[in-house]
Structure 1
Amino acid sequence: MDILSETIAAIRTGNPTSGMFVRRAPWGRRYPVVPGGGFHVILHGSCWLLPPGGEAVALGVGDVLLMPRGADHDLADSLDSAIVETARPGEPRDIPGPGARTVLLCGAYELGRQRSHPILDELPEFIHLPARPGRHPGLHAVVELLAGEVAEPRPGTDAAIPGLLDTLLLYALRAWFEEQADGSGWAGAFTDPAVAAVLRIIHEFPERAWTVPELAAAAGVSRATLARRFTATVGEPPLSYVTRWRMLTAARLLRESDVSLASLARRVGYQSEFAFAKAFKREYGLAPGQYRRAEEKPAVIAV
């Protein structure tokens, strides 16, 4: 069971979107907050990230900028350029101007709107992955493939782009966790053998009535050791995470399948549809059937 892949699959909703944008200096652009995650990749030229209340960050060719929670921000060709545009759906992809050209590959992901996951909650608002020689070659290979498909659509492009966008997200997160040298948080959860083992069995068998002694035995450590290391890295105790994963799995099944509520309840560890519905409403604020109907209406995200 691949913990990162399963986690992203559980919180991803709808279809990712992307587009290539050409800007010529001088330009300054505002990106409002989006209900999900977003990214920018610099394909040509350079620009500056201007986060609200933070220091400006220089972005160069090949750099990847990920906004895990869709934070609002500005981009500009220069620190002296005024912010005169706001991103909106359906706008021109190529805006002329007298100065140097910057080409951006921008995209957005729909993520669970009601219930998040600690793997995203602990991430910074902005993840900057500079294009350093020899670092994260897989990430930059995906960027090249995606840029090619967006720039020159060919037979199969419509099928290729969503898969490449999902791969880009996974590779960007993988790169970020690999760069966390202190091993804290979820970077530590992936590398701690006991915590990783427990996460895998929780993800694979959410229907099991897990106890801390059972989880500790599966990890080969004491109950106290598991509780301490799991909480320190994952951000909550093991059984709290069991409940969180059950609810995320249930939400995914409601979005992606027509499985009956009685069957779904059993698949996430509840003996009755009533008990499951009560637990789900407590977490999401909606009954399971209401949630399923609401998720049939996709969000509109500008890129």
Structure 2
Amino acid sequence: MDVLTDLLHRARAQNALVRQLIQQPPWSVTFAEVPPLSVVAAIEGRSVVRLDDQAVPLDAGDIALISGVDEYTIADDPATPPQILIRGGRKYLPGSDEELCGDWALAPRTFGDGLPGATVMLRGAYELRGAVGGRVLELLPSLAVVPTGSRTRAALDLLTAEVGCDEPGQDAVLGRLLDLVLVLALRAWCARPEAGPAWYQAMADRAIGAALRRMHEDPARRWTVAGLAAAVGMSRASFAARFAALVGEPPLTYLTGWRMTLAADLLRDTDRTVAAVARGVGYEDAFAFSAAFKRAHGVSPSAWRRRTWAS
């Protein structure tokens, strides 16, 4: 299993939200109290994403990945003043608690006026899980724009064709198509040498990519540098040097960091004992596990569990 697949599989929440906007300019919609990750795509016409002091244009087919923010605005033009605030699935006047009335729906999951010359936008939102979800968010700045490409455009066309339908299994179809759009957009973003994390670039290396896959497929195995090197057909010294150069840290440092991420979510999401969690991520000695966990997260495993269960 490659690193990106493992991250997305473990972080994925259910019931991803997908909505379509078909609105004639001028228009401006602000989304507040948003989930950790949003996917906004321009389907027809030009638009902008406004985030803090940024106003980034989107051409048809462009995808914006928005992460780790409380609020953002999509509009037809940077100069269009805010018109609608969406919070908790309800519409408000911006800067007011006055809820707007009236039916804005054109079809299931489709909103706007639907008039000729309208801009068409898609928006998907993800609730990501736990510490692994945090690692997904670390891949991105608060706003990452992926220009249109043949593969992303084809996936967006499929999602657009399905979003207005209301047939059995529709939420499952939309969730999987949104996943496809997200994965293709993340690939495109991370593949940029100046943007992607070191481990993403390292996956293209035959030996180091294979070592990363092995660690993610079986993180609890008692891996050693020598064992990983032998598994990918390299000497211990050459493997250790190449891994550190490409990934940015030694092999076992990377492995320990991933194990501590998995452990944090096991402590939060299960009632396993600390000793059982330790064994689940490759530690026979619960004391050694607790020391490693505290170095990574700043608190003991028990304190982490109490804090996350209380939140």
Q: TM-score, normalised by structure 2?
A: 0.75
Letter in 1 for 2:202: A
Aligned-residue offset at 1:276: 4.5
Match of 2:160 in 1: 147
Match of 1:301 in 2: none
Structure 1 residue runs of 5 or longer lacking an equivalent are: 298-303
Q: Does 2:225 align with 1:212?
A: yes
Tell me, yes or no, if the aligned pair for 2:31 and 2:71 is still in contact at 8 Å.
Answer: yes
Q: Does 2:16 align with 1:16?
A: yes
How big is each residue's C-alpha offset from its partner over 1:63-90, in whole Å with a ceiling of 9 and x where there is no partner?
Answer: 2211244574332211321134333122
Letter in 2 for 1:103: V
Match of 1:48 in 2: 48
Letter in 1 for 2:21: F
Letter in 1 for 2:224: T
SS at match of 1:191: coil
How big is each residue's C-alpha offset from its partner over 1:89-133, in whole Å with a ceiling of 9 and x where there is no partner?
Answer: 22355344999522221111122444666664243332222224x
Letter in 1 for 2:160: A
Alignment map for 1:1-303 (pairs within 5 Å): 1-32=1-32, 34-54=34-54, 56-70=55-69, 72-91=71-90, 92=104, 94-96=111-113, 100-114=117-131, 120-132=137-149, 135=150, 137=151, 139-180=152-193, 185-251=198-264, 253=266, 262-272=275-285, 276=289, 279-280=292-293, 283=296, 285=299, 287=302, 290=306, 293=309
Tell me, yes or no, if the aligned pair for 1:10 and 1:249 is still in contact at 8 Å.
Answer: no
Structure 2 residue runs of 5 or longer lacking an equivalent are: 91-103, 106-110
Could you tell which deviates more after superposition, 280-289 or 187-196? 280-289
SS at match of 1:210: coil
- Cα distance between partner residues in 2 of 1:68 and 1:238: 29
Tell me, yes or no, if the aligned pair for 2:16 and 2:125 is still in contact at 8 Å.
Answer: yes
**C-alpha RMSD over aligned residues:** 3.5
**Which has the larger Rg?**
2
- Cα distance between partner residues in 2 of 1:14 and 1:266: 28
The percentage of counterpart residues that share the same residue type is 38
Tell me, yes or no, if the aligned pair for 1:206 and 1:269 is still in contact at 8 Å.
Answer: yes
- Cα distance between partner residues in 1 of 2:256 and 2:61: 40
Aligned-residue offset at 1:233: 3.9
- Cα distance between partner residues in 2 of 1:69 and 1:254: 23
Tell me, yes or no, if the aligned pair for 1:3 and 1:200 is still in contact at 8 Å.
Answer: yes
Tell me, yes or no, if the aligned pair for 1:31 and 1:74 is still in contact at 8 Å.
Answer: yes
Letter in 1 for 2:45: G
Tell me, yes or no, if the aligned pair for 1:11 and 1:248 is still in contact at 8 Å.
Answer: no
- Cα distance between partner residues in 2 of 1:237 and 1:282: 17
